[in-house]
Amino acid sequence: MEAKEILEAYRAGKLTDTAVLAALQEKYREETLHLGFASLDLDRAERCGFPEVVFCAGKTEGQCVEILSALMKKYDNVIGTRADAGIYDRLKNKIPHVLYDSTAAMIYQHKDNRIRNGERTIAVITAGTGDIPVAEEAALTAEIMGNRVRRIYDVGVAGLHRLLARQGEIRAANVCVVVAGMEGALASVVGGLVDKPVIAVPTSIGYGANFHGLSALLSMLNSCAAGVSVVNIDNGFGAGRLAAMINEMR
Amino acid sequence: MEAKEILEAYRAGKLTDTAVLAALQEKYREETLHLGFASLDLDRAERCGFPEVVFCAGKTEGQCVEILSALMKKYDNVIGTRADAGIYDRLKNKIPHVLYDSTAAMIYQHKDNRIRNGERTIAVITAGTGDIPVAEEAALTAEIMGNRVRRIYDVGVAGLHRLLARQGEIRAANVCVVVAGMEGALASVVGGLVDKPVIAVPTSIGYGANFHGLSALLSMLNSCAAGVSVVNIDNGFGAGRLAAMINEMR
Amino acid sequence: MEAKEILEAYRAGKLTDTAVLAALQEKYREETLHLGFASLDLDRAERCGFPEVVFCAGKTEGQCVEILSALMKKYDNVIGTRADAGIYDRLKNKIPHVLYDSTAAMIYQHKDNRIRNGERTIAVITAGTGDIPVAEEAALTAEIMGNRVRRIYDVGVAGLHRLLARQGEIRAANVCVVVAGMEGALASVVGGLVDKPVIAVPTSIGYGANFHGLSALLSMLNSCAAGVSVVNIDNGFGAGRLAAMINEMR
Amino acid sequence: MEAKEILEAYRAGKLTDTAVLAALQEKYREETLHLGFASLDLDRAERCGFPEVVFCAGKTEGQCVEILSALMKKYDNVIGTRADAGIYDRLKNKIPHVLYDSTAAMIYQHKDNRIRNGERTIAVITAGTGDIPVAEEAALTAEIMGNRVRRIYDVGVAGLHRLLARQGEIRAANVCVVVAGMEGALASVVGGLVDKPVIAVPTSIGYGANFHGLSALLSMLNSCAAGVSVVNIDNGFGAGRLAAMINEMR
Amino acid sequence: MEAKEILEAYRAGKLTDTAVLAALQEKYREETLHLGFASLDLDRAERCGFPEVVFCAGKTEGQCVEILSALMKKYDNVIGTRADAGIYDRLKNKIPHVLYDSTAAMIYQHKDNRIRNGERTIAVITAGTGDIPVAEEAALTAEIMGNRVRRIYDVGVAGLHRLLARQGEIRAANVCVVVAGMEGALASVVGGLVDKPVIAVPTSIGYGANFHGLSALLSMLNSCAAGVSVVNIDNGFGAGRLAAMINEMR
Amino acid sequence: MEAKEILEAYRAGKLTDTAVLAALQEKYREETLHLGFASLDLDRAERCGFPEVVFCAGKTEGQCVEILSALMKKYDNVIGTRADAGIYDRLKNKIPHVLYDSTAAMIYQHKDNRIRNGERTIAVITAGTGDIPVAEEAALTAEIMGNRVRRIYDVGVAGLHRLLARQGEIRAANVCVVVAGMEGALASVVGGLVDKPVIAVPTSIGYGANFHGLSALLSMLNSCAAGVSVVNIDNGFGAGRLAAMINEMR
Amino acid sequence: MEAKEILEAYRAGKLTDTAVLAALQEKYREETLHLGFASLDLDRAERCGFPEVVFCAGKTEGQCVEILSALMKKYDNVIGTRADAGIYDRLKNKIPHVLYDSTAAMIYQHKDNRIRNGERTIAVITAGTGDIPVAEEAALTAEIMGNRVRRIYDVGVAGLHRLLARQGEIRAANVCVVVAGMEGALASVVGGLVDKPVIAVPTSIGYGANFHGLSALLSMLNSCAAGVSVVNIDNGFGAGRLAAMINEMR
Amino acid sequence: MEAKEILEAYRAGKLTDTAVLAALQEKYREETLHLGFASLDLDRAERCGFPEVVFCAGKTEGQCVEILSALMKKYDNVIGTRADAGIYDRLKNKIPHVLYDSTAAMIYQHKDNRIRNGERTIAVITAGTGDIPVAEEAALTAEIMGNRVRRIYDVGVAGLHRLLARQGEIRAANVCVVVAGMEGALASVVGGLVDKPVIAVPTSIGYGANFHGLSALLSMLNSCAAGVSVVNIDNGFGAGRLAAMINEMR
């Protein structure tokens, strides 16, 4: 029952005072799919623009399969991140369109593959080769959400000309995602070259005083270039989702 | 010999001055079961309301078996936390009522399963599915101690309606245990909805700048809602024990 | 208009569908007092059991005065924490019953000074003399909320007999608040002596590797005694509020 | 000389091979105003969309005055952040349109006050009153850059209805800036309510285990809501600049 | 050649000026056994009272075997810490008296097993059972160095009577080594009971906000009891060596 | 009444069962001087070898004066650390023998100035001149407790010959206290030269990555020389007390 | 086309204005070898004095093989660090001169093995045996770059005479690389003995409060000896490269 | 007496065996000037190439004056860092050539102002204006030691063309000192442009997640460019001294 129907039923005398308040509260509950171990947010697509994305790490394989099945039946495009291949193996029999990308460790369904934002491109840029898995998580996320992505990999600041050579592509993009580990300097340098938002993703690539991504994280947060904001260490998905959101603005 | 008996023996001239002081001291020793590698606190149940609970991690399997056997023979309800299934395999032949819960990683005996606190309910709430093992440690602990537990799982703040839908159950509880990783925001939100104590359990679920639970821990300690206190990261047992203690108050 | 009145007006045809939904939403707004720089939560007392408490640090003196005036006119008992004497000087002309405690740095109104919880006592215990300001914040908070408080100060573990001498008073309490800086060991020791909840408050008293309260905070979070939970460093108010909440349970 | 002119001079035989390369290099230098202690980036407005913004902390008053004068003579709208009133006192004689906002600690010139982005609004939301100075830095920055700003202050999660009451305004905004200290939970909650980018600004408001903003910073980085990215602690300017950049996209 | 012999040869005209200085320098070199990958300090026993102790972690098995063989041939009592059983397997054929203790992960030779310090006893005390491996490293080290050791295990502060029951033994000791993880409170409590040095060894036993021993380390450094000093986390050997050194003083 | 008297009174029938137990408990209380804000441990001298030492920081001037007066009337030698001159000014009228040392920030009474440990010397060694205040706290503490102290200042490892020149004095000492900030390397170097206990005191002298003494603290905890243990940053008193304790052993 | 050729073509009228600017930009691109997942910096040797060095950790085996092949075909001397033997196994068939050093975990080609810097020697010094793998990475790097290296291993400060015995060799070196874990004191001591640059490499050798190399890192950064600078934890390559660079200066 | 003279006296029978060893040891002592609170290393100039530099912070004004006087009388060029103007005021009467630089907070004597290294230049580069005080400490240090210094200030990476415009000067330098706060990215970018050593100096300029220089420090340690090494936060002197040392190599 929609909110309006509840009210009409009430006006028609079919619901008591108590019942109408309970009915309105009950509506909240309906927007959730209860699996016991999970409460799926079935209102997420409407409210936030894309269905709930499943963070598979820390869930059992069985839980992931059950949650993803439910979502993939309801929505065309669905994403599970940090997913082992084992989940894919169990899911591919049930869900014919499910796909798996081992570099990005993503399991997904991409039935609706229309480009939603025309020529507006998201540039995904990495400092090194080791940052690629995180970058692919970002790129693939943005693509599943209907965006064109330009990958520009391994252009870290130790060889500035590699970056300058691709300045044109970078400046042409509508949003930049910069993925870098070690000292994370690339985010500031890119931020100083463009007039578009830069989403910085620190990675845990590095060793020693990198402290599992802390050095890149702090660098990026302290960027002297305006227009740079930061997501969690290794959080390619978050960057891809935010880039998609910004790319849709008009 | 009880303290009184010691004194009577003394008054009767059966004990010297030195002996009576030694005898009183000896009493302390008797309240401890000495296994060489462990000094079991046999006064704990009387003093603190429940027998010593065994933290199995860091002990050898053999040590766990020996300690748990001793306790399970003396008390009806006994708990071992962070226990491998291997301990259960060795114990189930010796101790017929021993049980094992693999989600909570708890080994326990629950002979006396009376409900001690009537309808007074403890709500155990998680932000996500990945927090469930910690939540189950809390819930099971509280149940073994004689409490009714209401499990409300996967109602994190990213989909507030999931939480609001269950506001009734939450407000009806006598104590709330909130289990959350990542940013741990759920504790503050629940704390703002109720007039009962909220025990917050940060979990190590997350990655990157989560730093193994540090982010949720700091969030919860800085909660802007009054009535929230915090236990150690992933310490489901501690939360369950404290919830049980509070639920008994009257 | 109460929710029921809204619905009745609706049923009577005085409100359109859109209007009734808007009216329900408007109700939320009414529970907030808008001062521009502050949105006072006027539903807090009903929802959480005590009016919103004002954290004065970080607010201008003028803001504090305005917020506290509004609350003190509406409620009998009101608390402002981390307050400078300057706020009191400006408030005492407007609000005749306002009081100030310089040790606890609290400004408050305590018109309704009835004891709500009979003989049930909250013990507030400190390890040292330097911890007293935090302890007083806790004690005064609990007293304003209608509780008996027993102060047991300077009984740190370096002289265990000082603590054991007062074991009787401690065990007689219904809830314990343990306030300690440096190594914070007192919380564990008290936790091992009682069967009631222990609320541990780490303080920033100490130097060097104390790191502004971090050592006591970590100690208390890692307490080997069950029944101990922790609030923020120097958060006497939080401990006092939670102790009052637990003391009311029955 | 523009790049093209250099090349034409070269083709015309007026420049040797060496000279033309030197001339192209010299162009870079021209885009910088050399003050000895500062190299002003006079290409910033063209390249990044707004002139260089002056971070006044750590510079002498004299240096700030000299840099700001140079920029305010060249551009209509200019911003200096973390500025003391002393800078304003020395500048107001030289620069008639200079303004100072003591809450935001900003010194600025706002000659061109046209709204550039129509009805597209930036919501600046705070958890508490103490977060307002940082929020004002963000709001004022966005306004000077030509945006409409909606201020929604003191709606932290401890009183969720305060936030829900303003849900309409928040969802109507094109971008949200969420400013919060303590546990920083507000960013996740707002992130879960909207389908627009959320820029989270952790503040150093709080005490103890807040560790000067670390708790809010980590919370926001670990937000379970997608679409949330983070800038440095207390960095209102960065958030305002990024919000303006996103608001201009179309 | 001893220093005196060098000088005599010089006086006798057998050495030039340059040669005598070189010869004195060469003496330093002789006190070192050069194995290429290791420079064994053969003067350590004379200078510091016990031969160089080998920290096996981080060395290859082959390196450990070669170093230990050289030392065990030269000295009666030799210690290798953090040693795998594999080293023992390879060494036992070469060195008939070599022994291995798997709990302490120590490989050692204990040919001279005389008690050097009469009845003067070192108490090695643990808070829990999980701390025993570190305690055994300390105890065994002290024993190999000729001391009587009294083991008092699992007497943590959560059950204070267990500790008080053994107060007599503890006060009778000449030095105390206190080994504790989690909150490490035991060091302060023991420190408050005795008038002898207490060597505190934090262990990495615990979880969550224990941060691999940091909580116990900070607790012990901040001990409110005088006479407590601290060694590295899990450094049983260091504590045992220091205790032996103190026990020899007279 | 002494324990024995209590028992005799009991045997003589002058005390009931309940009374005798209460009387024994009461004895604990008598060993404490209750000042309201402080519980002075009057058994400390007997139990731990020296009266309670007063940590003045964090206490009000009035509290310090009251506590120190009480102790100085009861004991010959009394120490207050981290004391401002203001305390001395108020105390010198009441307590004729009170002394103040501004370098060490110590207030003390040293009526009994006999040397207790003959020729056995404690060496107090600093790396730099800036470490002297902490060293003086250690040296003065040890002197008040009856020890000979040899001060060896400013012999840090950057000029090793300064240290080697005084090797004789250092090796002649019975205990060494090494006080060093910055990298704290001196503790390891001294530890490698002697066969006596080395008490390392990290200081907060330094800047930048010193992090208020953290670098020296970690260095000293990780010392590769055996026989080195560590006290809190800047804790000269703790080192002096422990050195005195060790120097008394025989 | 070289820059000059581009300009000549332009002057000759063969290139339009747009084309000449594009051509100059294109040159940047040519200095990069695009492998999709990697952008090899083929200008590095000319610009920085040695070809790009491949950090193999975090790359797939296939990526390493492809990148190293390309570089080894183009340059005589090439280095891959943190390389598994598996890379070597796949590469040795393709690249006849490839070599592998398992201690240093380096894969390399060393065709041009001329000594470039005559008798100027780089001393590589370790505190312990466990530091050797990092030291070998430094030594081998410097050797491949044409330098003489003197290895001086296991001369940590706990046995100072081991170091002093080799003072002559150390002072004779042109640059010193000091590799040390635990407390890292060796860097300061060596720094105090020489008038040449000291490059300090902290290692992660140690345990507990070593925190994976943090203690040595902080020690070395706080060195009281001038002339000491620091590279990342375990970064033998960086130290070797910098030592080679300094050794070439004249 | 020189070492040789000692030996000759010995050979001549003027010294006993014991005396000659004592005399050699005594020599060490002579190389130190004993001021009680300081042991001046008078061998430093010979051993390390420049007299001991005085770190004034943490010393009393009187101590600084006494130490600096002694050094300025003995040596032509002397440096005191982190010095207040007060020291200068007291010293200028005693030492006619003493100078003071308030930006660098350095007090110094620069009698011998010959250029020692010809045209070989040290470039001192800052990211921002706020980094200048640290840069001046480095530049002045290098100048007093006889070097030409090129200052290149405020060329941070947010406006890359500012840096590229000065690439020529930078590449012409023999050594680069890069001084940067915030994210410290400039060190990596400069490191990628040159084939000479880069000494990186992180500064504490910044706020929030800069954590007093930690972000720049970690960035620089994790630099992806080879040839970069790091000194302590704000340690301009250390960088200047090291740059001078490298600049002298030939």
Q: Note whether H touches C: 3 CB pairs or more under 8 A.
A: no
Q: What is the pLDDT of residues A210-236, one digit of tens each?
A: 999 999 999 999 998 989 999 999 999
Average pLDDT, chain C: 90
Q: What is the pLDDT of residues D89-147, one digit of tens each?
A: 999 999 999 999 999 999 999 999 999 999 999 999 999 999 999 999 999 999 999 99
Domain co-membership, E174 together with E78: no
Residue H20 has pLDDT above 70, yes or no: no
Give the C-alpha separation, B135 to B153, whole Å. Answer: 9
Q: Which residues of F touch B9 (CB under 8 A)?
A: none
> Quick one: which of F205, F158, F161, F155 has its CA closest to F176?
F155
CA atoms within 13 A on the CB side of G153: 18
- Pairs of CB atoms within 8 A across G/H: 97
**Other C-beta atoms within 10 Å of A13: how many?**
8
Domain co-membership, H154 together with H214: yes
Q: Note whether F touches E: 3 CB pairs or more under 8 A.
A: yes
Domain co-membership, F152 together with F84: no
Domain co-membership, B99 together with B211: no
Distance from CA of C226 to the nearest CA of B (A): 6
> Do residues F121 and F166 lie in contact, with contact meaning Cβ atoms separated by under 8 Å?
no
Q: Which two tokens stand for residue A68?
A: 């993803």
**Other C-beta atoms within 10 Å of D53: how many?**
19
Q: Which two tokens stand for residue H121?
A: 């230049």
Kind plus residue range of the DSSP H or E element containing D137: helix D132-144
Domain co-membership, E83 together with E126: no
Domain co-membership, E139 together with E40: no
In a domain, A8, yes or no: no
User: For chain G, where are the E strands, in sequence order?
Assistant: 32-34, 39-41, 54-55, 77-81, 98-101, 106-110, 121-126, 148-152, 175-180, 198-202, 228-230
In a domain, F4, yes or no: no
Tell me the three state secondary structure of residue C91. Answer: helix
In a domain, E7, yes or no: no
Residue type, D3: A
Phi (first) and psi of residue C204, to 5 degrees = -85, 10
- H helix intervals, B121-174: 132-144, 160-164, 167-172
At residue H215, the pLDDT reads 96
Burial of A27 (C-beta count, 10 Å sphere; 0-12/13-18/19+): middle
Residue H21 has pLDDT above 60, yes or no: no
DSSP string of H70-99, one letter each residue: HHHHH-SEEEEES--HHHHHHHTTT-TT-E
Over residues A143-165, the mean pLDDT reads 92
At residue E209, the pLDDT reads 93
Residue B248 vs residues C174, C199, D242: alpha-carbon distances, Å: 11, 16, 53
Give the C-alpha separation, D217 to D214, whole Å. Answer: 5
Give the C-alpha separation, F113 to C229, whole Å. Answer: 48
Report CB contact under 8 Å: A229, D230.
Answer: yes
Residue F248 DSSP code: T
Domain finish residue from B76, B110, B144: B110
Report CB contact under 8 Å: D161, C39.
Answer: no
> Do residues D146 and D117 lie in contact, with contact meaning Cβ atoms separated by under 8 Å?
yes
- Candidates A161, A170, A183, A234: best to mutate against G (most CBs of G within 10 A) is A161
Burial of D70 (C-beta count, 10 Å sphere; 0-12/13-18/19+): middle
**What CATH number corresponds to the domain at position C195?**
3.40.50.1970
Q: Which residues of A touch G82 (CB under 8 A)?
A: 207
Q: Which residues of D touch G9 (CB under 8 A)?
A: none
- Which one of B132, B159, B208 has the shortest CB-CB distance to A41? B159
Buried b (16+ CB within 10 A) or exposed e, B98-128: bebbeebbbbbbbeeeeeebeebbbbbbbbb
In a domain, C133, yes or no: yes
Give the C-alpha separation, A130 to A128, whole Å. Answer: 5
Query: Tokens 């309704």 — which residue?
Result: C112
Give the C-alpha separation, F82 to F79, whole Å. Answer: 10
pLDDT bin (cut points 50, 70, 90) of residue G165 is confident
Query: Tokens 């350590």 — which residue?
Result: E44
Report CB contact under 8 Å: D219, B220.
Answer: no
Q: Which two tokens stand for residue C237?
A: 């108010």
Report CB contact under 8 Å: A154, G37.
Answer: yes
Residue type, H88: Y
Q: Which two tokens stand for residue E66?
A: 């070669």
The more confidently predicted of residues A203 and B21 is A203
Q: Which two tokens stand for residue C198?
A: 């222990």
Give the C-alpha separation, F63 to G186, whole Å. Answer: 47
Residue H1 has pLDDT above 60, yes or no: no
Rg for chain C, CA atoms, rounded: 21
At residue B167, the pLDDT reads 87
Over residues H178-200, the mean pLDDT reads 95
pLDDT bin (cut points 50, 70, 90) of residue H28 is low
Report CB contact under 8 Å: E162, B28.
Answer: yes
- Which one of E3, E7, E13 has the shortest CB-CB distance to H10? E7
At residue C250, the pLDDT reads 79
In a domain, H42, yes or no: yes
DSSP string of E152-167, one letter each residue: E-S--GGGHHHHHTTH
> Do residues F233 and C209 lie in contact, with contact meaning Cβ atoms separated by under 8 Å?
yes
Residue D146 vs residues A247, D95, D240: alpha-carbon distances, Å: 21, 21, 11
- Candidates F126, F161, F186, F188: best to mutate against G (most CBs of G within 10 A) is F188
Q: Which residues of A touch D232 (CB under 8 A)?
A: 221-222
Rg for chain E, CA atoms, rounded: 21
- Range of lowest pLDDT (B131-135, F173-177, H4-8): H4-8
Domain co-membership, H133 together with H96: no
Domain finish residue from B87, B110, B133: B110
- Range of lowest pLDDT (C222-231, D155-164, G208-217): D155-164
Q: What is the pLDDT of residues H90-125, one digit of tens each?
A: 999 999 999 999 999 999 999 999 999 999 999 999
At residue H62, the pLDDT reads 93
Domain co-membership, E188 together with E125: yes
Phi (first) and psi of residue D158, to 5 degrees = -65, -20
Residue B216 has pLDDT above 70, yes or no: yes
In a domain, G1, yes or no: no
> Do residues B233 and E207 lie in contact, with contact meaning Cβ atoms separated by under 8 Å?
yes
The more confidently predicted of residues G161 and H205 is H205
Which chain B residue lies closest to C199 (C-alpha atoms)? B229
Distance from CA of F140 to the nearest CA of B (A): 39
Domain co-membership, G99 together with G133: no
Give the C-alpha separation, E22 to G165, whole Å. Answer: 10
Domain co-membership, F148 together with F219: yes
At residue A26, the pLDDT reads 63
> Quick one: which of E223, F181, F140 has its CA closest to C206?
E223
**Which residues of E lie inside 8 Å of B (Cβ-Cβ)?**
128-130, 132, 153-155, 158-159, 161-162, 164-168, 181, 205, 207-210
- Candidates C161, C186, C211: best to mutate against F (most CBs of F within 10 A) is C161
Report CB contact under 8 Å: E39, G207.
Answer: no
> Do residues C177 and C125 lie in contact, with contact meaning Cβ atoms separated by under 8 Å?
yes
Q: What is the largest CA-CA distance in chain H?
A: 75
Q: Which residues of F touch C132 (CB under 8 A)?
A: 37
Tell me the three state secondary structure of residue D135. Answer: helix
In a domain, D5, yes or no: no
> Do residues G14 and G5 lie in contact, with contact meaning Cβ atoms separated by under 8 Å?
no
Which chain B residue lies closest to E212 (C-alpha atoms)? B212
Domain finish residue from E63, E78, E110: E110
At residue F25, the pLDDT reads 58
Residue type, C117: N
Burial of D119 (C-beta count, 10 Å sphere; 0-12/13-18/19+): exposed
Kind plus residue range of the DSSP H or E element containing H190: helix H186-191
Report CB contact under 8 Å: C195, B245.
Answer: yes
- Which one of E184, E185, E218 has the shortest CB-CB distance to C214? E218
Average pLDDT, chain H: 90
Which chain H residue lies closest to F168 (C-alpha atoms)? H25
Report CB contact under 8 Å: E37, G130.
Answer: no
pLDDT bin (cut points 50, 70, 90) of residue E174 is very high
Report CB contact under 8 Å: B219, D183.
Answer: yes
Distance from CA of E13 to the nearest CA of H (A): 8
Residue type, B47: R
In a domain, G18, yes or no: no
Report CB contact under 8 Å: H227, G241.
Answer: yes
Report CB contact under 8 Å: C238, B229.
Answer: yes
Chains contacting B (3 or more CB pairs within 8 Å): A, C, D, E, F
At residue G191, the pLDDT reads 94
> Quick one: which of G166, G173, G228 has its CA closest to G201?
G228
> Do residues E147 and E247 lie in contact, with contact meaning Cβ atoms separated by under 8 Å?
yes
Q: Note whether E touches H: 3 CB pairs or more under 8 A.
A: yes
Contacts of C3 (CB under 8 A, 6+ apart): A21, C24, C27
Q: Please tell me the total number of residues recorded for chain C in this structure.
A: 250
> Quick one: which of F149, F144, F143 has its CA closest to F175?
F149
Residue G42, domain extent: 32-110
> Do residues D40 and H147 lie in contact, with contact meaning Cβ atoms separated by under 8 Å?
no
Q: Which residues of F touch B3 (CB under 8 A)?
A: 21
Please write down the long-range contacts of D20-29, taking CB distance under 8 Å and 24 or more positions apart. D20/G7, D21/G3, D21/G7, D25/H164, D25/H165, D25/H167, D25/H168, D26/H165, D27/D1, D27/D3, D28/H161, D28/H162, D28/H164, D28/H165, D29/H165, D29/H166
At residue C31, the pLDDT reads 67
Domain co-membership, E143 together with E237: yes
Tell me the three state secondary structure of residue C216. Answer: helix
Phi (first) and psi of residue F82, to 5 degrees = 50, 45
| Total domains in the fold of chain H | 2
At residue A87, the pLDDT reads 97
Residue C115 vs residues B100, C247, D218: alpha-carbon distances, Å: 47, 12, 42
Give the C-alpha separation, E58 to E40, whole Å. Answer: 16
- Which one of G128, G159, G222 has the shortest CB-CB distance to F215? G222
What is the value of ipTM here, to two decimals? 0.89
Domain co-membership, G141 together with G87: no
pTM for the model stands at: 0.91
Report CB contact under 8 Å: B17, F4.
Answer: yes
From first to last of the 250 residues of chain D, give the pLDDT tens digit.
555 676 677 677 777 766 665 665 566 666 677 777 888 887 788 787 899 999 999 999 999 999 999 999 999 999 999 999 999 999 999 999 999 999 999 999 999 999 999 999 999 999 999 999 999 999 999 999 999 999 999 999 988 888 888 988 999 999 999 999 999 999 999 999 999 999 999 999 999 999 999 999 999 999 989 899 999 999 999 999 999 999 999 7
